[in-house]
Amino acid sequence: MDDRGAFAFAFPRPRRGLTILLVTIAALGILTAFLHTWIPQAKLVAEALRGERESIYQGQLWRLVTSGLLTDPERMWHLIFALLGLYFFGPDLERRWGAWKLFGVFAAAVAFGNVLVLLADAIMPASELRFHVPIFFGPGAAVSALVVAWSRENQDRQALFFVLPVKGKFLLWITLIMCVMNLIFPDVLREGVVAPFGGLLVGLLFAGSPSLMRRAYLRTKLFFLRRQERSMRSSGEVMAPPLRPQKRSRPANAPPLRVVQGGLEEVLKNRKVPKDKRYLN
């Protein structure tokens, strides 16, 4: 993918922040799969990090974020697709945002996706079993957020959607269609069928120059500044105008201004050429 919008295949180079995230997810995915397959009694790592409905209701709120670091121990493709999504769309966003904003968007997408899962569990009828999952985990919402954010930041660039080159501005709609398809097909996502919608919304909020969140912050700040100014005027407090540099006036008996000839050209014109030219530069 190049900056002119033409398609060019190249492996992205993740920076330190994305590398830490990829290594963490890969290590936890392999560890939890190993424990699940060979040592079923030792599942403390997954049980302490995964999203559990009853545990979150009891105040264990860290599970809203840490659940995004886990993948399905019974399906290898869950781990592979998560790593591929982060690997191909994360480097460009980390270069634009920095590592800390990338971590923040990842955490916000996972947390908001889990909140939507809990909300669907509370309002959907009991007969709709797909919306009532006691245990949920996976970075699907974060991957959706990064895809949408990349599409917002690179609308005219092209990316591979499986084997087809697609412009960035169409990836947003493809992601939305995939989220809707999760509600139609009977396959139950480990993240919860509504979790990708949370990632989609987070990607829309934090992507762009400026992003929707940045615009909302600036407008809120401007509103309070104007409100403070009105309150100061109504209370009689007058804001002092900024100091301006005073212009110096010339005395009345000063001689008139004139242009003095000189400079480098005048010096070179009047210079005498020496007879011995060995030391000329």
Residues with Cβ within 8 Å of 197's Cβ and at least 6 positions away in sequence, in order, are 113, 116, 179
Q: Is the pLDDT of residue 143 over 70?
A: yes
Phi, psi of 164 (to 5 degrees): -105, 130
pLDDT digits (tens, 9 = 90+) for 199-222: 999 999 999 888 999 899 999 999
Residues with Cβ within 8 Å of 201's Cβ and at least 6 positions away in sequence, in order, are 112
Q: Is the pLDDT of residue 82 over 70?
A: yes
Query: How far is the C-alpha of 187 from the C-alpha of 117, rounded, in Å?
Result: 16
Dig out the tokens for 204 from the structure: 């829309």
| pLDDT > 70 fraction of the chain, expressed in percent and rounded | 81
8 Å CB contact between 60 and 118: no
Lowest mean pLDDT among 36-40, 130-134, 241-245: 241-245
What is the reported pLDDT for 8? Answer: 47
One-character DSSP codes across 162-227: TTEEEEHHHHHHHHHHHHHHHHHSSPPPTT-TTHHHHHHHHHHHH-BTTBHHHHHHHHHHHHHHHH
Max CA separation in the chain (angstroms): 107
Looking at domain 16-214, its CATH architecture is Up-down Bundle (1.20)
pLDDT digits (tens, 9 = 90+) for 54-78: 999 999 999 999 999 999 999 999 9
Cα angle 249, 252, 256 (rounded to 5 degrees) comes to: 90
| For residue 139, cis peptide bond before it (omega within 30 degrees of 0) | no
Lowest mean pLDDT among 8-12, 155-159, 172-176: 8-12
